[in-house]
Amino acid sequence: MTQPALPYDPLGIAVDLIRCPSVTPADAGALAVLERYLAPLGFTCERMRFSAEGTPDIDNLYARLGSGQPHFCFAGHTDVVPVGEASAWTVDPFAADVKAGRLYGRGAADMKSAIAAFVAAAQRVAVDGFQGSISLLITGDEEGPGINGTKKMLERLAARGETIDHCLVGEPTCVERLGDTIKVGRRGSINGWLTVTGTQGHVAYPQLADNPVPTLLEMLRRLDAHLLDEGTDHFQPSNLEVTTVDVGNTATNVIPGSARATVNIRFNDLHTGASLDKWMRCVLDTVTAEMGGSYTFKTSVSGEAFITEPGAFSALIAEAAKEVTGITPELSTTGGTSDARFIRAHAPVVEFGLTNQTMHKADENAGVDDIARLADIYETVLRGYFAGRAGA
């Protein structure tokens, strides 16, 4: 295959990636595209394939240039969410059309363009030479279960003694304009599935039944009414949301035998998944003691809250963004979870990428100029990093 021409064009790389319909768990050739650009620069490209019972096998890519320290890692994902309602798109989601200065396609914002920008930036730095290592940790499982991707890749690196000094994740962090937001942490997330069991019966004879619905509603009222906290210096207040309530009763004259609900809590660093599980069960036990009945409750923590304390590394990225865009970024912890939740146990991690206004939407797109400027920002970050301006 013909070697890509130098210097690398981030738009061209993004187009190549978007034309791979890599909806989780499919790779669809996306990792091969990256290998085609990275291998000629001297990157050692290693496929990491992981599997687990009940989950799809996932192909991942770890590519590293250099073997010394400091080790700068860029983390991201080539998998994308499904197209959704195809008729809502005005373009082919995987054609990577450029119209009116914007690149359209699934993954344009989240986050194939950011990966392309980093590859272009790495090429510029590699040509000039540097002391240390640059790597890319690219998964195909970020939009999926998150089981056979970044977490297992990091575990494999750790098992063989390979360490990362700092990591930049290319998620779309900016809100209105490129450069306005850097993520230095994320809130945690815990889901809870609650089932209250009673006794089914005829509505005309309530004394012969035990209606679980009032008990469930009181449980949800108390959970929802509780003020978890008022936020911290770096985090907004934690919030509990009731996401489903379901009885499944199609009859108007039957008291149901069970009622179910699901809740989600997005929480800051004042809490842990375990502490919130304990609190919710205490509330449920109290209501059950007062009103009777029984319940089952299962929780799952998709990520704990974390923060990379603002310092030299976040300042390096903020300064690079301001130098290119003229905007001073806000340091934020808002938004959902990302694979940074796995990386934070291995290295200081900060997230910075394009605007997130169209991610996961029909006609997802990114500005062509923004993609070019993001490559400039990443290049500035890399040069500053290897000059020692991040404590590297």
- Pair (98, 198) in one structural domain: no
Q: What is the CA radius of gyration of the chain?
A: 24
Domain contains 4: no
pLDDT tens digit sequence for 139-167: 999 999 999 999 999 999 999 999 999 99
Which residue among 250, 279, 302 closes a domain? 302
The predicted structure's pLDDT at residue 199:
96
In a domain, 5, yes or no: no
Q: Can you give the pLDDT at residue 108? A: 98
- 145 and 78, same domain (yes or no): yes
- Are 124 and 40 within one domain? yes
β-bridge pairing 102-104 and 55-65: unpaired
Same domain, 182 and 87: yes
Look at residues 302, 317, 338 and tell me which one is the last residue of a structural domain: 302
In a domain, 171, yes or no: yes
Based on the residue annotation, tell me whether 277 is a catalytic residue of this protein.
no
223 and 90 within one domain? no
- CATH number, domain with residue 331: 3.40.630.10
Same-domain pairing of 169 and 195: no
| Cα separation, 378 vs 392, whole angstroms | 16
- Classify residue 391: in a domain, yes or no: no
Contact 228/265 with Cβ under 8 angstroms? yes
In a domain, 1, yes or no: no
> Which residues are within 8 A (CB) of 33 and not within 5 positions of it... i.e. 6 or more apart?
13, 16, 17, 20
Active site residue 370: no
194 with 212, same domain: the answer is yes
The residue from 285, 302, 319 where one domain ends is: 302
Alpha helix (H) ranges present in the chain?
10-18, 30-38, 112-128, 150-159, 212-225, 273-291, 312-325, 340-343, 368-386
3-state secondary structure of 270: coil
Please give the pLDDT value at position 392.
65
Same domain, 167 and 206: no
Report the pLDDT value the prediction gives residue 362, as an integer from 0 to 100: 98
| Residue given tokens 């390096």 in the structure block | 316
Q: How far apart are alpha carbons 143 and 289 in whole angstroms?
A: 41
Residue ranges in the chain whose pLDDT is less than 70? 1, 392
Position 1 scores a pLDDT of 56
pTM (2 d.p.): 0.90
Measured CA to CA, the distance from residue 42 to residue 40 in angstroms comes to 5
Q: Quick one: 269 and 376 in the same domain? A: no
Q: What integer pLDDT is reported at residue 390 of this predicted model? A: 82
Helices 212-225 and 273-291, packing angle to 10 deg: 140
What is the chain's percent helix, strand, coil content, to nearest 5? Answer: 30, 25, 40
| Same domain (yes/no): 47, 169 | yes
- Rounded to whole angstroms, the Cα distance separating 231 from 181 reads 19
Q: Is 371 exposed, middle or buried (0-12, 13-18, 19+ CB in 10 A)?
A: buried
CATH for 258: 3.30.70.360
Q: Domain check: are 315 and 292 in the same one?
A: no
Catalytic pick among 16, 110, 141, 142: 142
Q: What is the DSSP string of 98-147?
A: EETTEEESTTTTTTHHHHHHHHHHHHHHHHH--SSEEEEEEES-TTTTSS
Q: Please list the alpha-helical segments (H only) found in 167-211.
A: none
Q: Which two tokens stand for residue 80?
A: 């994308």
- Is the alpha carbon torsion for 358, 55, 32, 125 positive or negative? positive
What is the spatial distance between Cα 210 and Cα 270, in angstroms, rounded to a whole number? Answer: 38
Q: Which of 16, 27, 59, 79 is catalytic?
A: 79
Number of domains into which the chain is organized: 2
Structural domain harbouring 155: 10-186+305-386
